[in-house]
Copies of this chain bind each other. A is one copy, B any other.
Amino acid sequence: MSKYHVAPLDRLVEQFERLPGIGSKTAQRLAYFVLNMPKAQAEEFSHAIIDAHEKIRYCDVCCNFSDQERCSVCRSETRDKSLICVVETPRDAIAIEGTGDYHGTYHVLHGVISPLNGIGPDQLTIKELLSRLGGGEVSEVIMATNPTVEGEATAMYLSRLLKPLGVKVTRLAYGIPVGGDLEYADDMTLSRALEGRSEF
């Protein structure tokens, strides 16, 4: 690296370098950009970081991020409370919200069971999920964990836990992505697509 150093600038570059997918060249570019911002705008950025940390908490019901006791989905009167979609992260919930087709509620696990990384069921929000099923209001739990080994294992673990409670447990469909190319689909996806075929 260069011999030309300005300590506060170096520290800002370092901060950007910590972010995922940001290399040292990009970090430098971003730091200079922030430095060239009007001061008010830089303050806004700085406050947004602290603010997010101070004001965002887990929703008491679904454990998604929220700035109130209950998130906007759990507070909403128009959402179907008998349906719970279990996702790994808040970003997965946002992805599903993006479809505009889902009107139930969510439950955010904040991870997956992963013995390799030392994450067991106790570190996820499984206790909170079970407590939601106690009232008998919930009729279906949709497993929307990622189609990875760990996501699969977590969904399997949860379905075994939930079925005895008399609740219907379902899984997102596997298959060829819309607009995808059969030729380039992997064997696993193709055989799942065959398995899950439906009548015209």
Contacts and interface: CB of A to CB of B under 8 A. Distances in A.
Secondary structure of the A side of the interface?
helix
A22 B45 CA distance: 15
A26 B32 CA distance: 19
Given A9-B52, A50-B43, A32 B90 contact: yes
Q: How often does this chain occur in the complex, in copies?
A: 2
Given A2-B94, A30-B20, A53-B35, A8 B48 contact: yes
Contacts of A55: 7-8
A90 to B, nearest CB: 7
Interface in A33-50: 33-35, 37, 39, 41-50
Interface string A158-182: 0000000000000000000000000
